[in-house]
Amino acid sequence: MNKTQTTGEQGTRNKTKGSGEIERFEMYIDGQWKQSASGRWFDTKNPFTGEVWAQLPHADETDVDLTVRAAHEAFTSGPWASMTASDRGLLLYRLGDVIAANAAYLAELEVKDNGKLMVEMLGQTRYLPRWCQYYGGLADKVEGSVTPIDKAGMLHYITHEPIGVVAAITPWNSPLLLTMWKVAPALAAGNTVVVKPSEFASASMLGLAKLFDEAGFPKGVFNVITGFGQDTGRALVEHPLVQRIAFTGSDIGGAKISESAARHFKRVTLELGGKSPHIVFPDADMEAAVKGVISGIFAAGGQTCMAGSRLLLHSSIHDEFLEKLVARMKQARLGDPNDPNTDVGPMATEPQLEKVLKYIEIAKSEGATCLMGGTRAQRPECGNGWFVEPTIFSNVTNDMRIAQEEVFGPILSVIKFDTEEEAIQIANDTPYGLAAGFWSQDLQRAISLPKRLKAGTVWVNAYRVVSYMAPFGGMKNSGLGRENGISAIHDYLEQKSVFIKGKSEISNPFTLQ
């Protein structure tokens, strides 16, 4: 095959020409575009066509060590290390402007990578600059304090200092958005970052790296390496110069990272899976609730950690609500994610397609009733893509696997309840605690019920709402720590106490002063 070098928007891509056009991306390490030390590449497929569209470097321990050491060097010396917090904030503002100007380009890469709808990806990439602006403005607002102390003649004050090299390990469902949740506060705090995106969605991250370069970040401050979790990711997590790990992914992956980090006393932020309850009470606005339930599970093909995958319906409205829900979802359009009229796109990866189809069979074997869907989509407009028909199961009990295990697809489990107490018991009876939502016109319920739901985020008469201002994270198996909001920047800072004594005499050196 004939290979030709291109110097297009990214400036680091090769196009391999033959039966189809395949782009080659390079990693961004220490301000330079690099292939892997081994020269190995891996393929990435377009979920809509099922065809290889790009190749990426397969980084190994050598590449990881080179990258982390470059990030450590940038943290300890050079322009970033001596930059004021205000100057870091201005760089983040500049990055936000550059991202805004290239939002369509980033969205195009994401759609090719993970098959999400262009309308959603463009909305996300246009929203990314808000994280840059928010944390850019916060960078020089983190203040220390002079504190009263119970020691005569002693001055005591507290400072907040950056930690060092942060490893950000991101998933394939919304890679750029979830990366910005980690990178913006980490950089605002003064750290340097190494990002390891999912092997299924790495191209858009390298597109983002191009924009860091354009914004003028010093070399080594932001780096992207590509590869697989079992080798590239593990080497990054275990590298001795990595001080903090921010991970979004499955609870299985989070457990492995947590175990490794604990052995080396590294700090972690883990945003993991969910099996979120979505409760509809009899007094709900039914039309709004139907749309909310659809948004909660069928938007993004159910491939979100916060998916409202368990619908808890009061028995008095159960049949009517399901009739409306099924009728609306039978009108849903599957197909090309670039088409603005498409409602549901493909599964992002082939393994995920197989997993979702497997869970459909599990649900049927457990006795759940399939009201619609339940198969791989065979519509002409889906072509060879990895589509699953939007699926609704009724007669689900909360002890079924379909109600307890995260599927991460367009599969809704419907569970009937009779009382508020029963709804709360069912909602909390799961290993996860990431999110929950409910619909009700009762003001007292809107105030009291969120306190009783074991979830890091609760939506009332809404679902799947996030903001750079609002902390997000889970309880139980859904993870540790919170991302977004003012407090997130403190996760990337060390607190230090300083004692200064006015006089130098020590009364007794053998006692605690």
C-beta of residue 140 within 8 angstroms of C-beta of residue 85: yes
**Structure-token match 């197909």, residue found:** 335
C-beta of residue 333 within 8 angstroms of C-beta of residue 388: no
Of 26, 271, 389, 406, the catalytic one is 271
Integer distance in angstroms from the first to the last C-alpha of the chain?
75
Alpha helices for 330-460 (secondary structure H):
350-366, 401-404, 420-428, 443-452
Of 108, 199, 305, 483, the catalytic one is 305
C-beta of residue 161 within 8 angstroms of C-beta of residue 494: yes
Q: What distance in Å separates the CA atoms of residue 432 and residue 306, rounded to the nearest whole number?
A: 11
CA-closest candidate to residue 115, choices 434, 419, 388: 388
Torsion over CA: 115, 116, 117, 122 (sign): negative
Three-state SS at 178: helix
271 in active site: yes
Torsion over CA: 323, 327, 330, 332 (sign): negative
**Structure-token match 């997130």, residue found:** 488
Q: What distance in Å separates the CA atoms of residue 193 and residue 446, rounded to the nearest whole number?
A: 40
Q: What distance in Å separates the CA atoms of residue 95 and residue 251, rounded to the nearest whole number?
A: 32
- Residue 162: beta bridge partners? 493
305 in active site: yes
Give me the active site residues, please: 271, 305
